[in-house]
Amino acid sequence: MPLLFRTLFKTRGEALAFGGFLLLLLVVLPLALPVFRLNLVGKYLTFGFVAIGLVLLWGRCGILSLGQGVFFGLGGYCMAMFLKLEASDPVTTAIQSTPGIPDFMDWNQITKLPMYWEPFKSLPFTIFAIFVVPAVIAFIIGWALFRRRVGGVYFAIITQSIALIFSLGIDGNQGYTGGRNGITDLRTLCGWDIRSENAQYILYFLCVVLLFTVALGAKYIINTRLGRVLVAIRDREDRVRFSGYDVAMIRAFIFAFAAMLSGIGGALFVLQVGFMSPSIVGIIPSIEMVIFTAVGGRLSVLGAILGCLIVNFGKTTFSEAYPDLWLYLMGGTFIAVVMFFPNGLAGLLEKIPTSKGKYAALFARFKKTTPVVTTKTTPISDEN
């Protein structure tokens, strides 16, 4: 156990930060916030799954994906399909031309449940699909691209276009996907009303616990040999290849792993928000997820979760307080973070010196120009 502990946390401060954060989410927030606000925090945290994936993928392995929304969406749609089938029993849908199928299918003159919807009547299959579908699709995409040594900005562009294709595909097949409206009006999970206060508390705690499990898993990867290989690939890909590692396979694996995490986030999003829509899978949300990670710190697992919370909290508060101005405020914040703290908030916290003598180092940071995007020639700090 102490060995595992030492693998997960390199310093005592790190472990303390981790524990403190967990305490905040599990005890302080549930006590301090009304259930409606807590539900919002739960929604923000679902993006944390994507952000942790991006820490591994982008921060550690240097692969910038602008299509994580796709995998978030795949997980979310799997969950939504199950919930929608449960909500569309023949009694509640008696008014339709074909009772017993989801309402949007009926509106599109579909009279029979499509074959690939059938397995989503089973919860175990749905949970299996949430984990496997995003991972398999990501692995296929990743393997095809990385084997041809597509990387850097080209990979970002390709993933971005995949996000566009995916959201257009959903839009264009509304009889099967709910189209632009998405899959809405989800009420129960195996008879359990997910909209009740009680359920929202339980789902929140489930979300926090899963998120921290995933966070620990990510830290484990980072601090073991795989994590070091990832950094090596980021910094000097050719040397790793010459040392006999299968770079494409490792990249495809980490891309699939990040996709699986995103899928879990998507499923939890649907459970807490009560619907799924193509507006959270396209290019804009995919880029937003990268922003969350960048603001929090793309090298740090905890920082990424913090980024999701802070950015979304800012979005909610600014837009409630200044409905006409909030976008400018958000934009200003992003620019400030990227200009002054290229390693995000976590990078900033880390730099807070332990002794007074180190203040000089802090100021020195502002003088030198640190590149924002990871390049192969300038390795960036690895502490997290």
Partner 1 sequence: MKLKSLSHHFLKVAALALATATATAQDKLPTAQVNTTGLAVTDDTVTVGQLHSATGTMAISETGSIQAEQLAIDQINAAGGVLGRQIKVIKEDGASDWPTFAEKAKKLLVSDKVGTVFGCWTSASRKAVLPVFEKENGMLYYPTFYEGLEQSKNVIYTGQEATQQIIAGLDWIAKEKKAKTFYLIGSDYIWPRTSMKIARKHIENVLKGTVVGEEFYALGSTSFGSLINKIKLKKPDVIYAAVVGGSNVSFYKQLAAAGINASKQTLLTISVTEDEVLGIGGENLAGFYSAMKYFQSLDNPNNVEFVKAFKAKYGKDSVIGDVTQAGYLGPWLWKAAVEKAKSFDIDKIVEASPGLELTTAPEGYVKLHPNHHLWSKLRIGQWQKDGQAKVLYESELIEPDPFPKGYQ
Contacting residues toward partner 1, per CB under 8 A: 34, 36-37, 39-40, 43, 95, 97, 103-104, 107-109, 168, 171-172, 174, 179-182, 184-187, 195, 273-275, 277, 279-280, 316, 319-320, 323-324, 326-327
How is residue 368 written in tokens? 């030198």
How is residue 295 written in tokens? 């603001």
Query: Can you tell me the distance from the alpha carbon of 8 to that of 216, in angstroms, rounded to the nearest whole number?
Result: 7
Q: Which residues, in sequence order, are bridge partners of residue 276? A: 183
How is residue 380 written in tokens? 């960036």
Q: How far is the CB of 71 from partner 1 (least distance, A)?
A: 17
Q: Specify the residue, 194 or 215, whose C-beta has the smaller distance to partner 1.
A: 194
Kindly provide the residue ranges of all beta strands, DSSP E only, lying in the chain, ordered along the sequence: 188-189, 192-193
Q: Specify the residue, 144 or 321, whose C-beta has the smaller distance to partner 1.
A: 321
Q: How far is the CB of 154 from partner 1 (least distance, A)?
A: 25
Q: Of the candidates 46, 127, 39, 53, which has an alpha carbon nearest to the alpha carbon of residue 83?
A: 127
Q: How far is the CB of 104 from partner 1 (least distance, A)?
A: 7
| Region for residue 100 given its phi and psi (left: phi exceeds 0; alpha: psi -120 to 50; beta: otherwise) | left
Q: How far is the CB of 327 from partner 1 (least distance, A)?
A: 5
Q: How far is the CB of 54 from partner 1 (least distance, A)?
A: 20
Q: What angle do CA 90, 91, 94 make, to 5 degrees?
A: 75
Q: Specify the residue, 179 or 307, whose C-beta has the smaller distance to partner 1.
A: 179
How is residue 237 written in tokens? 């890909």
Query: How far is Cα of residue 368 from the mean position of the Cα atoms in its chain?
Result: 32
Query: Can you tell me the distance from the alpha carbon of 198 to that of 343, in angstroms, rounded to the nearest whole number?
Result: 39
Q: Specify the residue, 187 or 365, whose C-beta has the smaller distance to partner 1.
A: 187
Q: Specify the residue, 17 or 280, whose C-beta has the smaller distance to partner 1.
A: 280
Q: Specify the residue, 125 or 318, whose C-beta has the smaller distance to partner 1.
A: 318
Q: Specify the residue, 21 or 326, whose C-beta has the smaller distance to partner 1.
A: 326
Q: How far is the CB of 184 from partner 1 (least distance, A)?
A: 4
Q: How far is the CB of 294 from partner 1 (least distance, A)?
A: 20
Between strands 192-193 and 188-189, the pairing is antiparallel
Q: Specify the residue, 160 or 174, whose C-beta has the smaller distance to partner 1.
A: 174
How is residue 162 written in tokens? 């995949």
Do 268 and 43 form a contact (C-beta atoms < 8 A)?
A: no
Query: Can you tell me the distance from the alpha carbon of 61 to that of 246, in angstroms, rounded to the nearest whole number?
Result: 14
Q: How far is the CB of 343 from partner 1 (least distance, A)?
A: 29
Residue showing tokens 């569309």: 88
